[in-house]
Homo-oligomer: A and B are copies of this chain.
Amino acid sequence: MNNFEYCNPVKIVFGKGQISKLKDLVPKGAKVLMTYGGGSIKKNGAYDQVKAALQSFDVVEFGGIEPNPQYSTLMKAVEIVKKENIDFLLAVGGGSTLDGTKFIAAATKYQGEDPWDILEKGVAVEEAVPLGDVITLPATGSEMNGFAVISKKETTEKLAFASPAIFPRFSIIDPSLTFSLPLRQVANGIADAFVHVIEQYATRPFNAPLQDRQAEALLLALVEEAPKVFANPDDYDVRANLFWMATQALNGWLNVGTLQCWATHNIGHELTAQTGVDHGRSLALVLPGVWRSQRKEKGEKIVQLGRRVFGIDEQDFDAAIDATIEATKNFFKSLGIEATRAKYGVTDEVCQNVARIVDSRNAKFGDRANIDGAKIIEILNLCD
């Protein structure tokens, strides 16, 4: 095992009716900026519950954070935080609202000229406005990590940053808020959580049996629970189980001391920036291409996954890889995600654009840092 440090100080407050605890979770006397997206929180009841819980606080609102939160939108919020002397940010919504709020928190305290440098140049974030959240979408795991992904339409970029300063102080997870989600979004969230685990697992044998088993535990539980939400969308326990899985899929736990390969996410982000394809669907499209292109590098872990998660007992190594890829695609199909390049508008031109942009940034993806523009085109040609 490699040496590592791990600290995840997020306080999780999980269950029905927990939003009422906000009044004790938000620091006493804080002036709060409540951020949200396109208004779904007014339909699912979160908005009213938050306002009721915070009635003794001075709350300013900032709505309209879009899916794939945009730099230009978020910078407007930064202005408000400064002008209004906001002490605490409260994100109410899904991963995009929360990621956007993490960026607002970091950009407000940024000392340099252009906060975009946090994403583009990887300038370290040492300080941020404290934040918390009421998370309403099981998908990104942002509620229990120090990561965020931000987009810039003008330059078709979608980039990530990380800092301990942007860990939420608390995250309220009330699974009953997810009853009103369109099943398309539920499916996207499950695919996202599944691939979060895969990117921390499907690298190469590393003699970290606990991390392997823990990743497989999450995948087994996801594969077991996912069909139930489509069969019984009103079952609270199913919603609760899926939310807890999504939260744990990316809280840093699974990859301590081992390797990670974020190639599928990296390429997926580029496709979303180019075509607007849903994040979860971009991952379901790209993953089989990454595995087919990297079958030598990742073969042993893919076969282990197939055996332990999908119960594949094929003895031939190559056939076992193919069977695992097929089982994974079938899992995505069972969510209603039939991912093809044609469906998501991933033309040859889009592939060329992605390759060019990645090479222009001198980025190399994967745990071996060997995936450049040319490899990305190879991968995208192997997706369908």
Contact = CB atoms under 8 A, between A and B. Distances in A.
B4 A14 contact: yes
A225 B5 CA distance: 23
A238 to B, nearest CB: 9
A7 B7 contact: no
A1 B213 contact: no
A104 interface: no
A209 B1 contact: no
A347 interface: no
A23 to B, nearest CB: 15
A11 B5 contact: yes
Given A208-B241, A257-B240, A7 B10 contact: yes
Nearest to A15: B3
Interface stretch (A214-222, A290-298, A328-336): A214-222
Contact of A1 (B1, B216, B237): B237
A244 B15 contact: no
Nearest to A244: B210
A316 interface: no
Contact of A210 (B12, B210, B248, B257): B248
Contact of A7 (B2, B9, B221, B241): B9
A7 B244 CA distance: 14
A352 B7 CA distance: 45
A299 B17 CA distance: 33
A214 B4 CA distance: 21
Given A6-B11, A217-B217, 12 more contacts: A1-B244, A3-B16, A4-B12, A7-B10, A9-B9, A208-B241, A209-B224, A213-B217, A213-B218, A213-B221, A214-B218, A240-B257
Interface of A: 1-18, 207-210, 212-214, 216-218, 220-221, 224-225, 237, 240-241, 244-245, 248, 256-257
24 contacts: A1-B14, A1-B240, A3-B14, A3-B15, A3-B16, A3-B17, A4-B14, A5-B14, A7-B10, A7-B12, A12-B256, A14-B256, A14-B257, A15-B257, A207-B241, A208-B241, A209-B241, A210-B218, A210-B221, A212-B221, A213-B216, A213-B217, A214-B214, A214-B218
